[in-house]
């Protein structure tokens, strides 16, 4: 790999990813311009757009965070249902 420099891996925040997607989709800016501005690859921008189209903003949170939030909501609804059913029995 003489003469080739690898780009340092930069972790973009959820806000940066959303900004990039909105600039491309709503403002019609080029992926290349946004990639240069944020110092990321054009492929990253493309991936973020695909995730956004499929999952919305949830596509930018880690699977773990999103899954924990989803499971907590299910658990909350479950306990609410049990409480209602328990009160009906008494």
Confidence of residue 66 (pLDDT cuts 50, 70, 90): confident
Whether the per-residue pLDDT at 65 is higher than 60: the answer is: yes
**Per-residue model confidence as pLDDT tens digits over 19-59:** 999 999 999 999 999 999 999 999 999 999 999 999 898 88
The pTM of the full predicted model, rounded to 2 decimals, is 0.61
Do the Cβ atoms of 17 and 60 come closer than 8 Å? yes
């Amino acid at each position: 790999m003489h003469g080739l420099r690898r780009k340092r891996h930069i972790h973009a925040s959820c806000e940066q990813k959303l900004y990039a997607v909105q600039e491309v989709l709503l403002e019609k800016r080029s992926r290349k311009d946004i990639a240069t501005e944020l110092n990321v690859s054009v492929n990253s921008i493309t991936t973020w757009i695909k995730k956004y189209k499929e999952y919305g903003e949830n596509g930018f949170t880690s699977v773990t965070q999103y899954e924990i939030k989803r499971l907590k909501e299910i658990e909350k609804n479950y306990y609410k249902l049990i409480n209602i059913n328990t009160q009906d029995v008494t």
